[in-house]
Amino acid sequence: MPLLEVRDLAVQYKVRSHSFAPKRILHAVDGVSFYIDAGETLGLVGESGCGKSSLGRALVRLEKPASGSIRLDGRELATLSGRELRRSRGDIQMVFQDPYGSLNPRLTILESLDEVLALRSKDGRAARRERAAALLKQVGLLPDALDRYPHQFSGGQRQRIGIARALAGDPRLIVADEPVSALDVSVQAAIVNLLMDIQRDCGMAFLFIAHDLAVVEHISDRIMVMYLGRIVEIAPAHELVAAPRHPYTQALLAAVPTLTPEGRSRIVLHGDVPSPLDPPEGCPFHPRCPFAQERCRRERPELECSGDRACACFFPR
């Protein structure tokens, strides 16, 4: 049985264009289904605005799903509330994109970590401080950082502290929401390697959200591609990169810088991602797809599995 199993998950927001306009429904996540095995890293990629962060936040219940199921080790999380929801959050933790905004500037690092440790442990204050020091050491920081404030650290160090805070809950799954996109390029590799080391040592699973396919390929066992709130392709990382089937995946890969560009076909996408407030009829990708046919404009393809791969396209390449 998978560690995490998501079925037909939907996340919706009520929005209005101006103060007196009627509210409309924005379908940020539209009927998504997937699984994550214990100890696995599933990468999630797609353009900005495709619903990646909304999906991640729904998994940790920072957003309430409109419908669907989120089962962690057989336990339903989508309908939990109150005390049961607070207890479940220790099993799924999140590393946020912005290392500058995700830490409370009024709290020392010890106080930020102790908020989590005090909820998850009955140990005394001294024992929790020792645990906090051990967490900082695990992410490559010295224990003297405990009594300092977030503004005294660089972006990369703050992201390490954010990872330590996620580890403090002793989770079985960590949702990493673009954890390196706000960091300098020189720091990104160190954070990615840190996450890989943590997984190797602790055995937890990851949902690694990013828009950089090169980074996702490096860290992931499988990759899931998202477009306009829906999953369009899932495959083992090396297979997806070597032979993508969905035209959108091919376009994302074509945009990755390479030393041998002649070995990769160039696909240029025209136009912007359609608004989730007014998605196109049929396949949501057809207005930008260079291979779209009449059927694509009339019908919406479902995600169909073939072996260990799945693709939502009538005419996979």
Band (148; pLDDT cuts 50, 70, 90): very high
With a CB cutoff of 8 Å and minimum separation 6, the contacts of 21 are: none
287 pLDDT tier (thresholds 50, 70, 90): very high
pLDDT digits 0-9 by tens, 83-119: 888 888 889 999 999 888 889 999 999 999 999 998 8
Mean pLDDT of 241-270: 79
- Per residue in 15-66, pLDDT tens? 877 777 788 889 999 999 999 999 999 999 998 889 999 999 999 999 999 9
Binned at pLDDT 50, 70 and 90, residue 316 comes out as: confident
| Structure tokens belonging to residue 151 | 């503004």
Mean pLDDT of the chain: 91
| Per-residue pLDDT at 260 | 59
- Name 302's Cβ contacts closer than 8 Å, sequence gap at least 6: 312
pLDDT exceeds 70 at position 263: no
Domains of the chain (ranges, CATH numbers): 4-91+171-311 (3.40.50.300)
**Among candidate residues 272, 64, 215, 27, the one with its CA nearest the CA of residue 206:** 215
Amino acid 277: pLDDT: 85
Q: What are phi and psi of 182, to 5 degrees?
A: -95, 5
| 66 exposure class (CB count in 10 Å sphere: 0-12, 13-18, 19+) | middle
As beta bridge partners, residue 132 has none
Who's near 15: CB < 8 A, 6+ residues apart? 23, 24, 26, 277
